[in-house]
Amino acid sequence: MHHSTKIEDILRKYMPHAAVPLMATWILDYHILLRITAKRKTVLGTYSPPPKANAPHTITINGDLNPYAFLVTFVHEVAHLRVWLRFKNQVNPHGKEWQTVYSHLLGKVMEVFPADVASALRQYMTNPSAATCRDEHLYKTLKKYDKDNKGLVLLEEIPDNAVFKVEDGRLFTKGEKLRKFFRCTEVGSNRKYKISGLLSVALVAKQV
């Protein structure tokens, strides 16, 4: 089987099929080693330049992302690769050079996304931040396409004073809003925490 065909077969498991041929071409043209990882709490993807001559560029992507989030993240990391090829480490990782390249590359796959994601991406591309999850509108739009959310909802969507459970099993009561965070109280210890409104949580009780 041709190398490109093998790559495309793998990519189809993770991203929209319409984007696969171009992404496979990028992997071959730029000599990319793509590693699909388990879920990571702090990052969705990473890029590492070649450690030595003739070594591949390494991109890692969380394998639990929905197809549209996976594609957005992959393009994000390829933009880092393109900037490194031209500037090495002489520019800000998410400076104007990266923003220009990222916007250009996203434009090549824009027709792949549903209308709401494409609209959110166009808005995001006017001033892309370092991470997709930092753009509230884009993050929430992409989250709608998660297939297996296990009944989770965003913290900002549950009622005030509701009790919710986080990933590690701890229970909290939702408190006052602090810009993009909420002051929440841990059940049992009564300790206060600032928790992002975009955190996925399990609603336990609507109100206490």
Question: What is the full DSSP assignment across 31-98?
Answer: TEEEEEE---SS-SEEEE--SSTTPPEEEEEETTS-HHHHHHHHHHHHHHHHHHHHHTTSS-TTSHHH
Q: What pLDDT sits at residue 132? A: 66
Q: The dihedral of CA 28, 31, 35, 40: what is its sign?
A: negative
Query: What is the CATH T-level fold of the domain 153-205, as seen in this structure?
Result: SH3 type barrels. (2.30.30)
Read off the pLDDT of each residue in 171-179 and give the average, rounded to a whole number. 92
Q: Are 75 and 83 in contact (CB under 8 A)?
A: no
Name the percent of the chain lying above pLDDT 90: 63
Do residues 154 and 197 lie in contact, with contact meaning Cβ atoms separated by under 8 Å?
yes
Tell me the whole-structure pTM to 2 decimals: 0.77
Can you give the pLDDT at residue 1?
43
Highest mean pLDDT pick, 70-84, 87-101, 161-175: 70-84
